[in-house]
Amino acid sequence: MYNPQSLKAEEFISEEEVLESLKYADENKQNVEVIDAILKKAREEKGLSHRDASVLLACEIPEKNEEIFALAKKIKQDYYGNRIVLFAPLYLSNYCINGCTYCPYHGKNKTIPRIKLTQEEIKKEVIALQDMGHKRLAIEAGEDPVNNPLEYILECIKTIYSIKHKNGAIRRVNVNIAATTVENYRRLAEAGIGTYILFQETYHKETYEQLHPTGPKSDYAYHTEAMDRAMEGGIDDVGLGVLFGLDKYRYEFAALLMHAEHLEAVHGVGPHTISVPRVCPADDIDVKDFKNSIDDDTFAKIVACIRIAVPYTGMIVSTRESQKSRERVLQLGISQISGGSRTSVGGYTEEVRPEDTTQFDVSDRRSLDEVMKWLMEMDYVPSFCTACYREGRTGDRFMELCKAKQIQNCCLPNALLTLKEYLTDYASPETRKVGEKIIEDNMPDVKSDKVREILRDELEKIENGSERDFRF
């Protein structure tokens, strides 16, 4: 039985409910009256149910699809403006005891060298990231209680936060590690993490069990219920995601939104972020083995429909996607991207990109400076802002502001401040020239005269001195 308030995975992600929703979508994918009613509701910009959103995803009427894309663009602008948050992944260890068939870190892979960074090596990686200009990281590690115990993760977080190099500092550490206990989530919260991220990979239970034949991750319920334990442990912000291509995308889409609805129903706050990775090649992984992979048009529509269904949630796309693909989905709903990423363990200190320990192939291989310039040439405001997290605007406090479309009052000034830091400390002359114009062009969008006056003063202090980390 479907019950979004249940704490049991198979009740809040009910296969029966998913299939009924897909059937309803199939029955109405060419029903103009139903689609128009859903779009009318969506234009209120308060979100849609998984069932209504599934109809939009299935819609086959060209002019209605144009309306869907146009609405996604409007909602993205209304909630997030033209800001794009930048981050980088930091791989700590690729030791893993799971048997995931889509990941080269799986325990049976004997061709990949196993590496675990020491704290001294982590310092060097973080300094390299700081020298690029990064301010927020997402740390990644395989599941291995012997090589990667929680104590190691906590020590790594402490090391990362401790490093101040020149004007650089990592101000937010998001954590993407395996499902764990309430007590361990409590320890992560006490360590000052930002968002806890855990991809479901696939919500289809039978497929999940086939793709995870061995290891702790093979327990579907324990994995799917992890976000509830994380929130019980005091982590305000959690990030969902599926790996599109493992199972049929419409099933994953409906179930992903059901998970978001479950978090709202139980905890009063939905996911802080939703990630939309696609299966891609890596080491002994061949995408041809996965028959449910999706094309670029389908990927774009998934992004647009998620944006319409959960307007308040940040959406992330990584360097798995090409420049062309990322450019397309930025306008449809994506609010965070990685830049200058290395998906290998210890990759940032190497001048030549190492390939032997990568978790997945990187399609967008440009430097952070190139990504920054590219974004600004499209009139986006790249942001390294971490102010909400550090000022306590997390969880329901953040969502309250976001749903009221008030978060931009803080976000745009903070984005411009962090952009100024980047331009002053790290940017190439060409990127700085483009960036200074972006700052000036966006100043009129700061509506408060008082805030604009303070912002001008703080921008000048960044330009003329070593003072950093101003925030509203």
User: In angstroms, what CA-CA distances link 338 with 5, 90, 199, 335, 408?
Assistant: 34, 11, 16, 11, 21
Q: What is the distance between the alpha carbons of residues 380 and 438, in angstroms, rounded to a whole number? A: 8
User: Does position 211 have pLDDT exceeding 90, yes or no?
Assistant: yes
In tens, the pLDDT along 34-92 reads 999 999 999 999 999 999 999 999 999 999 999 999 999 999 999 999 999 999 999 99
In tens, the pLDDT along 14-23 reads 999 999 999 9
In tens, the pLDDT along 327-366 reads 999 999 999 999 999 888 988 998 776 655 565 566 788 9
Comparing C-alpha atoms, which of 1, 4, 2, 3 is closest to residue 264?
Answer: 4
pTM of the model: 0.94
In tens, the pLDDT along 447-464 reads 889 999 999 999 999 999
Q: How confident is the model at residue 285 (pLDDT cuts 50, 70, 90)?
A: low
- Provide the 3-class DSSP secondary structure of residue 382: strand
Tokens 């696939």 identify what position? 202
User: Does position 135 have pLDDT exceeding 90, yes or no?
Assistant: yes
Structure token digits, residue 354: 């190492």
User: Does position 290 have pLDDT exceeding 80, yes or no?
Assistant: no
Mean pLDDT for the chain?
Answer: 93
Q: Could you give the dihedral angle defined by the CA atoms of residues 297, 299, 302 and 306, in that order, rounded to the nearest 10 degrees? A: -130
Q: What is the distance between the alpha carbons of residues 173 and 448, in angstroms, rounded to a whole number? A: 31
Domains of the chain: 78-388 (3.20.20.70)
User: What's the mean pLDDT in 385-412?
Assistant: 76
How many CA atoms within 13 Å lie on the side-chain side of 308? 31
Q: How confident is the model at residue 283 (pLDDT cuts 50, 70, 90)?
A: low
Q: Are 315 and 277 in contact (CB under 8 A)?
A: no
User: Does position 289 have pLDDT exceeding 90, yes or no?
Assistant: no
Q: What is the distance between the alpha carbons of residues 16 and 344, in angstroms, rounded to a whole number? A: 40
Output the pLDDT for position 322: 87
Output the pLDDT for position 240: 98
Write a three-state SS string for 288-340: HHCCCCCCHHHHHHHHHHHHHHCCCCEEEECCCCCHHHHHHHHCCCCCEEECC
User: In angstroms, what CA-CA distances link 140 with 74, 177, 420?
Assistant: 33, 6, 29
Tokens 């799971």 identify what position? 98
Strands 336-338 and 83-93, by their bridges, are parallel
The residues facing 102 across adjacent strands are none
Q: What is the distance between the alpha carbons of residues 465 and 424, in angstroms, rounded to a whole number? A: 10
- Give the chain's largest Cα–Cα span: 63
Output the pLDDT for position 353: 64
Q: What is the distance between the alpha carbons of residues 27 and 29, in angstroms, rounded to a whole number? A: 6
Q: Which residue has the higher pLDDT, 347 or 414?
A: 414
Contacts (Cβ under 8 Å, ≥6 apart) of 359: 91, 94, 103, 104, 105, 140, 282, 343, 344
Tokens 């030791």 identify what position? 95
Output the pLDDT for position 343: 85
- Provide the 3-class DSSP secondary structure of residue 239: strand
Output the pLDDT for position 320: 84
Output the pLDDT for position 286: 63
In tens, the pLDDT along 217-263 reads 999 999 999 999 999 999 999 999 999 999 999 999 999 999 999 99
User: What's the mean pLDDT in 256-277?
Assistant: 97
User: What's the mean pLDDT in 431-438?
Assistant: 98
Q: What is the distance between the alpha carbons of residues 245 and 253, in angstroms, rounded to a whole number? A: 11
What is the DSSP-derived secondary structure letter of residue 444? Answer: G
Rg (CA), the chain: 21
Output the pLDDT for position 287: 62
User: In angstroms, what CA-CA distances link 165 with 56, 125, 162, 421, 453?
Assistant: 48, 12, 10, 14, 30
- List the single range of 114-128, 139-153, 271-285, 312-326 with lowest mean pLDDT: 271-285
What is the DSSP-derived secondary structure letter of residue 114? Answer: P
Structure token digits, residue 249: 């995308």
